Amino acid sequence: MSGVIERYHSWIGLPEGRAISLSEGSTPLVHWDSWGHSNIFLKLEGLNPTGSFKDRGMTVAVTNALAEGAKAVICASTGNTAASAAAYAARARIPALVVVPQGRVTKEKTLQALAHGARFLTIEGNFDDALHAVRQSVQSIPWLALVNSVNPWRIRGQETGAYEVVDELGRPPEALVLPVGNAGNISAYAQGFRRYSGILPKMFGIQAAGASPLVQGHDIPNPETLASAIRIGKPASSASAKEAVAQSQGAFLSVSDEDILAAQKELAHGGIFVEPASAAAYAGLLRLRQDNRIAGGNIVVVLTGHGLKDGSTPNAWIDASTRLISAGELGEALHDMIGVAQHVAH
């Protein structure tokens, strides 16, 4: 399978040359459910090479950086961008520097970045502070490419998510629901739909209640949510995100951490395991249904990152569900479980 640069070469518009790719993109669009006249589809972006949607933008940003003579890449991150930048830099055989907020990135994402050989810096403060510091510092270093979503090539790469949805459904969906942190992805999907199909679906951007600057209409100095990927108080791409939502008559909605955990569980019980930031989008969809705002047609929810990227939230499930038995007790325990299974099957 080819990556997004090969699949959508003319739409991305990179000059000819070697693509730095890990065969990202072409992720499943799962028909999840039908609600009245609506069909709900889930786009499983956690199935990208590093487990999040970031790979779509990173292949393009790193390929372009290399073509322009960059010797290294740098990003600020809540974790997924760091993991993706580290992987694509490793693929390109150049160093990656990642700057993350102290104590705020999951162990799993930290491990990914380190495994791929990234130079890892933790700074005091939150993601917004990290991004500000990184943007300041790159200005004086011409050979260092910034690969956050403020890099237009990142956005161009992430547009391919929209192209794939259009290709798969045969037309744009009626609505798109996705989590919003730094607001790069919602901007990319909007631009992707506009460019590829000329039609902008209703865009619903979902934020965690404690980190919801776009819902509240002002920056949040100390954002808080268990969905660490979207713990962002000052989104860099807020202007284009607001434009997309206004133009499409969509909305920004916030969901509580409790709603996020419930949504994560509901998806998992249907066979799909996503990290909390992605579950926020599904929680947003449930809210839209509750408010009777699902008006029919195809609704696509973008599930941005895999559940294995964040081991912190499911600990409660593990503690509540594991049962220690001796080998001699296995027969009896199985008997109980078979009873339950038969009950469910009937």
- Site track 31-70 with ligand F0G (rule: CB under 6 A), x = hit: ---------------------x-x----------------
Binding residues for ligand F0G, how many (CB under 6 A)?
A: 22
- In sequence order, the β-bridge partners of residue 202 are 175
Which region among 242-250, 273-281, 325-333, 338-346 touches ligand F0G (by CB under 6 A)? 273-281
Closest CA to 279 of 267, 288, 290: 267
Question: How is residue 134 written in tokens?
Answer: 């990184």
Say whether residue 180 binds ligand F0G (CB under 6 A).
yes
Cα(298)–Cα(300) distance, integer angstroms: 7
Say whether residue 151 binds ligand F0G (CB under 6 A).
no
Cα(304)–Cα(43) distance, integer angstroms: 8
- Candidates 89, 183, 267, 272: give the one binding ligand F0G (CB under 6 A): 183
Which region among 16-24, 165-173, 181-189, 338-346 touches ligand F0G (by CB under 6 A)? 181-189
Q: Residue 116 phi/psi, 5° resolution?
A: -85, 0
Closest CA to 92 of 126, 121, 58, 119: 58
Q: Give SS3 for 316.
A: helix
Say whether residue 112 binds ligand F0G (CB under 6 A).
no
Kindly identify the residues of this chain, within the stretch 289-318, that bind ligand F0G according to CB under 6 A: 304-305
- In sequence order, the β-bridge partners of residue 72 are 144
Q: Report the nearest approach of ligand F0G to the CB of residue 269 (Å).
A: 20
Which region among 34-42, 173-181, 259-267, 324-332 touches ligand F0G (by CB under 6 A)? 173-181
Cα(145)–Cα(155) distance, integer angstroms: 15
Q: Report the nearest approach of ligand F0G to the CB of residue 5 (Å).
A: 20
Find how far residue 55's CA is from the centre of its chain.
10
| Binding stretches for ligand F0G (CB under 6 A) | 52, 54, 77-81, 149, 179-185, 229-230, 275, 277-278, 304-305
